[in-house]
A and B are shown apart, each in its own frame.
Chain A
Amino acid sequence: MDSSLLAVRDLRKHFPVGGSLFGKARGVVKAVDGVSFTIGSGETLGLVGESGCGKTTTSKLVLAAEEPTAGTIEFEGRNIADLSRADLQDYRAKVQVVFQDPYSSLSPRMRVGDIIAEPIKAHEALSAAEVRGRVTELLELVGLRPDAARLFPHEFSGGQRQRLAIARALSTRTRLVVLDEPVSALDVSIRAHIITLLEELQQRLGVSYLFIAHDLAAVAHVSQRTAVMYLGKLVEVGDSLELCAGPLHPYTKALFAASLPSHPDESREEIVLSGEVPSALSPPRGCSFHPRCPFAMPRCSEQEPRLLEASPGRRVACHLYSAS
């Protein structure tokens, strides 16, 4: 367990709501409420969930863009809350991110070379020529020609821009890249290229990914392990292929049922969830999924299930699988 690159333990992030500058907050949104996972070196962990489930907040915590309310994030064995200023800078160099929208993630007024070089200049003392050399390497790494460095982002298509964003994320001996819906904004015919590129880069560089998406098929394709999130909590974690073959948690089952067929005659177990994700401001008592769950038992509305090992490497938070 300690050989992992990133270890997140019982991470919580609560946001006060309704308070003004002087007034007291009226409530608390538990955006992330006790999440634990690990990512090994060179591994991809997929994080799936619907909007508002807390996956974006989780990514912000991992990126040290937000401070957790409770819990720890350990990177290479050290808690990032205890890092000195200089070590935190080093952490920021090693953990980078690729966002969903490649049109918003590249500054329109900077040349591509400067965009990619920005993190390098912030973290390493290299000469101008060395920086240029690194930029050339990176551009080739993501399948673009070196003379792209002189151009502005608007001269590139969406897929090429996403390649540039990936090159930037890899510019500083990066160990972990948070991929926040990296292909959702791209044209269908371009997505496969980016997914393949990410897989190739992982094999070559041994970099780890935290792959966040709502498209189960894409997540399961890219990641070795997949974690399913609902209302700030992980409900199921396991090997991607096993998870796809036999989802355990009713919410995971519903997600799979809802993901669209890949051809017209594919038959699916139809689990149509009633209602919508409840507000995180007042989550239901007990298991937060029980109001929508087709298998809910009396116990589910009283006692919160814990994330327990159901089979080796497979953890589920559901009373259906916990010995009573």
Chain B
Amino acid sequence: MATIPIGADRTIATRRAARRGLRALRQAPLIPLAILAVLVSVAILAPVLAPHGRLDPVKPTQEQCLAKYGTPDCPYVDNVPPFWSRGGRLETPLGTDFLGRDVLSRLMYGARISLIVALTGALFAGAIGTVLGVLAGYMGRWWDEIIMRITDAWLTLPSLVFAILLSSVRGPGLWNVVLILALVFWSRYSRAVRGEVLSIRERDFVKLAEISGIGKLTIIWRHLIPNVMNTVVVLFSLQVGVAVIIEASLSFLGVGVPPPEPSWGLMMAQERESLMEGRWWLEIFPGTCVTLLVLSANMLGDWLRVRLDPQLRNR
């Protein structure tokens, strides 16, 4: 029997894959990636990088105390503007808040909390939603009926109101926020995943596995979940952005991460009047951080959507 040499094919394929990799890198959204990298490394290195503590006020100089309170000695000076404004100091480059704490340091520590909450929240939601979606899509019948009716009901819940309700039951706290995010957002995943599974299970390789007598759990684990991962990863990156906003909203409403720990949402919440009173830096800086994170996550998600789709990828 003639053996078809596939060696030549393989080197071509590998070379093509390498070329494709390079091209993918060139097309990657470099700015969002860079922003995310900076945010993540700042969050990790916050204790090293932060010029001041996150909870304690910055010790003021005598001139500052004199200028503000008329005495040379005071515990802190509040609402110092950023360094380029009049009255600003290089020591607190982005100013201080109403308790004289350094805004930059709090933003750095806040990145930790906001990222942990958003990533783990979206991850748990993804895990719950994927499992339920695969079960509904593959097992069909009453599994599908029950899971999808719950999902539909869940999707109609106003997520913020639901989150407030949950947190008023559970009380504020970082891991409670994570739990809330998971409970609120799983339905987004399950609906998308179910749709995907409905089409995958009609593909011949799933039918082949069924015909060869392979168990349902094995089929789910080996054939379905790897093939819905594209969708899940993309949804995840989009949900991270939404989770940051929800976390901020919850903290803003006083049911999120409890003070004095800094999270970006909380920082904005505690200073809600300051914008009106001219202390813009207390709102703008955490707001910018939230915007940057959400935008980069969305852009990355969009790029992933194209990258992970073999049909779009090769265009």
Contacts and interface: CB of A to CB of B under 8 A. Distances in A.
A63 B212 CA distance: 9
B205 A143 contact: no
30 contacts: A65-B207, A65-B210, A89-B213, A92-B211, A93-B212, A96-B212, A99-B204, A99-B207, A99-B208, A104-B204, A105-B203, A107-B205, A107-B223, A115-B205, A118-B222, A119-B212, A122-B214, A123-B213, A143-B2, A143-B3, A144-B3, A145-B3, A145-B6, A147-B10, A154-B310, A155-B9, A155-B10, A156-B9, A157-B9, A168-B208
A109 interface: yes
B227 interface: yes
B5 A145 contact: yes
Contact of A110 (B210, B213, B222): B222
Contacts of B6: 144-145, 147-148, 156, 160
B13 interface: yes
Interface residues of B, number: 29
Interface in A19-76: 63-65
B312 interface: no
Q: Which of B9, B205, B207, B209 has the most CB of A within 10 A?
A: B205
B3 A96 contact: no
Interface string A76-106: 0000000000001100110011010100111
Interface string B176-210: 00000000000000000000000000011101111
A156 B227 CA distance: 19
Interface residues of A, number: 40
Given A92-B212, A122-B212, A122-B215, 5 more contacts: A88-B213, A122-B213, A155-B9, A156-B9, A168-B208
B212 A172 contact: yes
A273 interface: no
Interface string B1-38: 11111110110010000000000000000000000000
A188 to B, nearest CB: 17
Interface string A125-162: 00000000000000010011101100100111100100
Contacts of B9: 155-157, 160
A249 B233 CA distance: 57
B226 interface: yes
B20 to A, nearest CB: 11
B214 A101 contact: no
A261 B49 CA distance: 81
Contacts of A119: 212-214
Contacts of B204: 99, 101, 104-105
Given A107-B223, A155-B9, A144 B4 contact: yes
Given A143-B2, A144-B6, A148-B6, A109 B203 contact: no
B1 A200 contact: yes
A108 interface: yes
Contacts of B222: 107, 110, 118
Contact of B209 (A118, A154, A156): A118
Contacts of A99: 204, 207-208
A197 interface: yes
B310 A108 contact: yes
Contact of B211 (A63, A109, A110, A115): A63
Contact of B213 (A92, A107, A145, A151): A92
- Which 8 pairs between the two chains have the least Cβ-Cβ distance? A92-B213, A105-B204, A109-B226, A119-B212, A104-B204, A155-B13, A107-B205, A99-B204
Nearest to B202: A104
Given A118-B214, A155-B9, A97 B3 contact: no
A143 B1 contact: yes
Contacts of A144: 3-4, 6
A148 B6 CA distance: 8
Contact of A118 (B2, B10, B13, B212): B212
Contacts of B209: 118
Nearest to B14: A155
A109 B13 CA distance: 16
B223 A97 contact: no
Interface string B140-154: 000000000000000
Contacts of B213: 88-89, 92-93, 119, 122-123
A105 B208 contact: yes
Contacts of B223: 107, 110
A64 B197 CA distance: 23
A160 B212 contact: no
Nearest to B222: A110
Interface in A167-216: 168, 172, 197, 200
A91 to B, nearest CB: 8
B10 A151 contact: yes
B207 to A, nearest CB: 7
A145 B222 CA distance: 25
A73 to B, nearest CB: 14
A154 B20 CA distance: 14
